[in-house]
Amino acid sequence: MDIQPSKRTWNTPVRERWNAPIHHCLKAIDAHVDLYLKTGDSWHMEQANFLRSYLHQLKTWIHQEENRLKYRNAEDTE
């Protein structure tokens, strides 16, 4: 299966390198939740929660780096 990168309306050099890994983590979360619902195996929900926590931390770091490097979303200034 060939996964195409999602279209972004706004991007920065900080975000660019993380778009694909974030996309893959979201797909992995979906897969774990699907398997949890099908099997009832709580390990899958634990892994989905682990990935959610990782993504939250990563996105927080991205925002901090963008602020530090003065990248701003044009929509934020309107």
Cβ atoms within 10 Å, residue 54: 14
Is 22 a member of any domain? no
**How does residue 77 score in pLDDT terms, banded at 50, 70 and 90?**
very low
Task: Quote the mean pLDDT of the chain.
Answer: 87
pLDDT, tens only, 17-46: 999 999 999 999 999 999 999 999 999 999
Which domain range does residue 57 map to? Answer: 28-67
Q: Is residue 45 part of a domain?
A: yes
Q: Enter the tokens of residue 26.
A: 């979201």
Q: Tell me the average pLDDT across 53-73.
A: 91
Does 38 reside within a domain? Answer: yes
CA distances from 75 to 5, 10, 63 (A): 22, 9, 15
Answer whether residue 5 is part of any domain.
Answer: no
Give the mean pLDDT of 66-78. Answer: 68
- pLDDT reported for residue 34: 98
Q: Is residue 50 part of a domain?
A: yes
- Please indicate, yes or no, if residue 76 is contained in any of the structural domains: no
Task: Please state the domain count of the chain.
Answer: 1
